[in-house]
């Protein structure tokens, strides 16, 4: 079942920044990564999904409900962590959570709060004003994951957290997906998204430039392959192999850059005794930087 549908949505500002004709869908049980640098349109897209701002064109649905015409019903199924978290500074973390839990349906209250607080190592009895940035982020994470929301929207969720807590947040996302929820994860940190997401969408200058599985992106990455054989390697051994670029060949050693599957490389070496073959890990960062090249700059408030 599709939990989130964004159909041909556009939003423009007087500055000209915004998003153009963005379409995407997130299914139940899926962690969907939404990647882009600051100013690309990530936060604008989230604000539209939350009906905090209205689109100039297009339609957004959560569990089949239009987020504008049926906004209250749609938001009953949402958990949301904004990128810029604002909390009641004079209240304790527990009081903030209790207040937000009371706004949820009767069966969606704060039953999970003690468990979440323990997992995130957060003392809910301390006033918000005394908490560090990371601990304030934990309060936001608890209110996003408490209850059983079917769509969890997270904007830079691990900001301010140490590596141990970042791993715990990834576990929370995976557990939510395992019970059938959809997780919409917005970030500019590739490593964070690639470890947990099933699919990713890449946005640049307000437009989607790719929507693909992480494995699909990885298959397109360039890998450096080092080969050593028992006999000298002919300089033209990879000349007819698709997706390869010879870097160097010297005697029994060759270096070649490969895009796509490794099988053609193996077959090209079939008449040679291969002593060693090492393929480097694909560099996803290079792929994403390639998508980002040439993007226009945008103001921070439409990131």
- For the stretch 1-54, pLDDT in tens is 999 999 999 999 988 779 999 999 999 999 999 988 778 899 999 999 999 999
Q: Is the pLDDT of residue 101 over 90?
A: no
Share above pLDDT 90 across residues of the chain, in percent, rounded to a whole number = 62
* CATH number of the domain where residue 102 is located: 3.40.50.300
pLDDT digits (tens, 9 = 90+) for 231-286: 999 999 898 898 888 899 999 999 998 887 888 889 999 999 999 999 876 666 66
Q: Say yes or no: 7 and 59 in one domain.
A: yes
| CA 234/CA 231 separation, integer angstroms | 9
- CATH no. for residue 237? 3.30.70.1560
- pLDDT of the residue at 21: 96
Same domain, 270 and 198: no
The reply to whether 55 falls in a domain is: yes
Band the pLDDT of 295: cuts 50, 70, 90.
very low
Q: What pLDDT shows up at residue 36?
A: 84
What's the CA gap between 144 and 158, in Å, rounded? 13
Question: Do 106 and 64 belong together in one domain?
Answer: yes
Spatial separation of the C-alpha atoms in residues 52 and 46, rounded to whole Å: 9
Q: Do residues 110 and 209 both lie within one domain?
A: yes
Number of domains present in the structure of the chain = 2
pLDDT at 292: 66
Q: Are residues 200 and 258 in the same domain?
A: no
Span of 81-90, 113-122, 291-300 with lowest mean pLDDT? 291-300
How far apart CA 3 and CA 227 sit, in angstroms, is 47
Give the HSE-up count for residue 131: Cα atoms under 13 Å, Cβ half-sphere.
28
What distance in Å separates the CA atoms of residue 41 and residue 303, rounded to the nearest whole number? 5
Closest by Cα among 22, 24, 8, 2 to 205:
22
Question: CA 63, 66, 72, 76: dihedral to nearest 10 degrees?
Answer: 10
- Do 102 and 13 lie in one domain? The reply is yes
Are 149 and 240 within one domain? Answer: no
Which of 153, 123, 129, 132 is closest to 141 using CA atoms?
Answer: 153
Q: How far apart are CA 185 and CA 158, in angstroms?
A: 11
Same domain, 164 and 247: no
The answer to whether position 98 is within a domain reads yes
pLDDT (0 to 100) of residue 148: 86
Say what the pLDDT of residue 177 is: 97
pLDDT classification of 57: cutoffs 50, 70, 90:
very high
233 inside domain: yes
**C-alpha pair distances (Å), 210 with each of 44, 72, 93, 162, 292:** 18, 31, 39, 30, 11
Q: Do residues 142 and 157 lie in contact, with contact meaning Cβ atoms separated by under 8 Å?
A: no
List the structure tokens of 239: 């000349």
Please name the helix (run of DSSP H) or strand (run of DSSP E) that holds residue 148, with its range, or none.
Answer: none
**53 and 79: one domain?**
yes
Q: Do 197 and 132 lie in a common domain? A: yes
Residue 105 has pLDDT above 70, yes or no: no
CA distance 181 to 197: 13
99 phi/psi in degrees, rounded to 5: -60, -45
Range of the domain at 175: 2-213
- Whether residue 115 contacts residue 123, with contact meaning beta carbons closer than 8 Å, is answered with no
What's the confidence (pLDDT) of residue 106?
A: 55
| Helix, strand, or coil (residue 223) | strand
* Helices 93-102 + 133-145 axis angle, to 10: 20
> Quick one: pLDDT at residue 294?
47
- Checking if the pLDDT of 119 tops 90, the result is yes
User: 243-252 burial, b for 16+ CB within 10 Å, e for fewer?
Assistant: bbebeebeeb
| CA 167, 47, 126, 110 torsion-angle sign | negative
Report yes or no: 60 and 5 within 8 Å, Cβ to Cβ: yes
Q: Which two tokens stand for residue 29?
A: 């049980």
**52 & 190 share domain:** yes
CA proximity to 125, closest of 93, 151, 165: 93
- Residues 130-177: tens digit of each pLDDT: 999 999 999 999 999 998 899 999 999 999 999 999 999 999 999 999
Read off the pTM. 0.79
Q: How far is CA 209 from CA 10, 17, 119, 249, 263, in A?
A: 15, 16, 37, 36, 29
Same structural domain, 90 and 160:
yes
Helix (H, G, I), strand (E, B) or coil at 298: coil
């Amino acid at each position: 079942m599709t939990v989130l549908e964004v159909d041909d949505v556009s939003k423009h500002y007087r500055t000209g920044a915004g998003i153009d004709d963005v379409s995407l869908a997130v299914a139940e049980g899926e962690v969907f990564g939404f990647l882009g640098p600051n100013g690309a349109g990530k936060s604008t897209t989230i604000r539209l999904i939350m009906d905090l701002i209205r689109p100039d064109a297009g339609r957004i649905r959560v569990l089949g409900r239009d987020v504008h015409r049926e906004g209250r019903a749609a938001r009953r199924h949402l958990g949301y962590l904004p990128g810029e978290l604002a909390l009641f500074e004079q209240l304790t973390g527990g009081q903030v959570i209790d207040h937000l839990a009371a706004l949820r349906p009767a069966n969606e209250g704060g039953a999970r709060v003690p468990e979440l607080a323990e997992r995130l190592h957060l003392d809910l009895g301390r006033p918000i004003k005394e908490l560090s940035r990371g601990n304030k982020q934990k309060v936001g994470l608890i209110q996003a994951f408490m209850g059983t929301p079917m769509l969890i929207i997270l904007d830079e969720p691990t900001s301010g957290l140490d590596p141990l807590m970042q791993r715990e947040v990834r576990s929370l996302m995976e557990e939510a997906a395992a019970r059938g929820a959809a997780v919409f994860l917005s970030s500019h940190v590739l490593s964070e998204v690639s470890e947990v997401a099933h699919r990713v969408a890449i946005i640049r200058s307000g437009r989607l430039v790719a929507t693909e599985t992480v494995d699909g992106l990885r298959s397109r990455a360039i890998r450096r392959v080092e080969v050593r054989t028992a006999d000298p390697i002919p300089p033209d051994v990879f000349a007819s192999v698709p997706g390869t670029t010879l870097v160097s060949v010297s005697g029994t050693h060759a270096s070649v850059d490969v895009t796509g599957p490794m099988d053609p490389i193996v077959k090209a070496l079939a008449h040679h005794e291969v002593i060693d073959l090492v393929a480097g890990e694909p560099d996803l960062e290079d792929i994403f930087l390639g998508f980002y090249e040439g993007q226009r700059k945008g103001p921070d408030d439409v990131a």
